Amino acid sequence: MKILTYIIFILFISCNSDDKCGNITEREVCVTIFNKSGQRIRHLTLTNEKGFNDVGVLKNNSQTSIKYASGGEDSYTIIAVLDNGDTLKSNGTYTEGGWKMNEIVTKDSIKTKYKDSWF
């Protein structure tokens, strides 16, 4: 019974975790986007060489993570439309499979911070 309870507990934690970047492989890139703009982001999109991820709304002082397949060299850009109508676009960010990235959306720019890698 203790083993079953432990397994259910682990599954519950895994399913409710917002950390999509926790278990990343060398064939994936994970980008965590932090909204520190002082307002809601009404539309957020990450575009990479293979397509795009439409996040939608991101509240102020919150974050979201996007994990996507990347077998090697890649790049991405982020577009954030703030509630006041301002549109911010990141510079193209170079990545490789296994990399974790942090992007901070401020009131006037998007700043890239390299986090760590899978190895």
Task: For 80-113, write each residue's pLDDT tens digit.
Answer: 999 999 999 999 999 999 999 999 999 999 999 8
Q: Given pLDDT bands bounded at 50, 70 and 90, which one contains residue 38?
A: very high
- Expressed as residue numbers, the domain containing 85 is 20-117
Examine residue 6 and state whether it is found in any structural domain, yes or no.
no
Contact 27, 71 (CB under 8 A): yes
pLDDT value for 117? 53
CATH number (domain holding residue 99): 2.60.40.2890
Examine residue 5 and state whether it is found in any structural domain, yes or no.
no
Work out how many domains the chain is built from and give that number.
1
d(CA 35, CA 4): 39
Within a 10 A sphere around the Cβ of 63, how many other Cβ atoms? 17
d(CA 109, CA 80): 9
DSSP state of 110: E
Whole-prediction pTM value?
Answer: 0.80
